[in-house]
Amino acid sequence: MEYITLNNQVTMPILGLGTYQLKGNSGIETIKNAINLGYTLIDTAQMYQNEREVGIAIKESNVNRENLFITTKICTPNTTYEKAEKAIDISLKNLQTDYIDLLLIHEPYDTSTEMYKAFEKAYINGKVRAIGISNFNESEYLDFIDKCSVIPAINQVECHIMYNKKELQHTMKKYGTVLMGYSPFAQGNGNLFVDNDIMNIGKKYNKTSSQVMLRHLIQRDIPTIPKASSVERLKENLDVFNFTLNDNDVQIINSKNQNKSFFGWD
**CA dist., res. 180 & res. 200, Å (int):** 27
Annotation marks residue 182 as catalytic: no
The response to whether 170 counts as a known ligand-binding position is no
What's phi and psi for 170, nearest 5 deg?
-65, -45
d(CA 238, CA 250): 20
Angle at CA of residue 38, ends 37 and 42, nearest 5° = 105
* CB contact set of 43 (below 8 Å; sequence gap of 6+): 16, 17, 18, 19, 71, 72, 182, 225
Per-residue b/e over 198-227, b at no fewer than 16 CB within 10 Å?
A: beebbeebebbbbbbbbbbbbbbebbbbbb
Q: Which of 39, 48, 123, 141 is catalytic?
A: 48
Centroid of chain to Cα 179: 9
Integer Cα distance of 14 and 219 in angstroms: 10
| CA 132/CA 145 separation, integer angstroms | 10
Sign of the Cα torsion 121, 126, 127, 132 reads: positive
Q: Taking Cα atoms as reference points, which of 165, 223, 161 lies closest to residue 18?
A: 223
List the binding residues for substrate.
106
Residues with a known catalytic role: 48
List the binding residues.
106
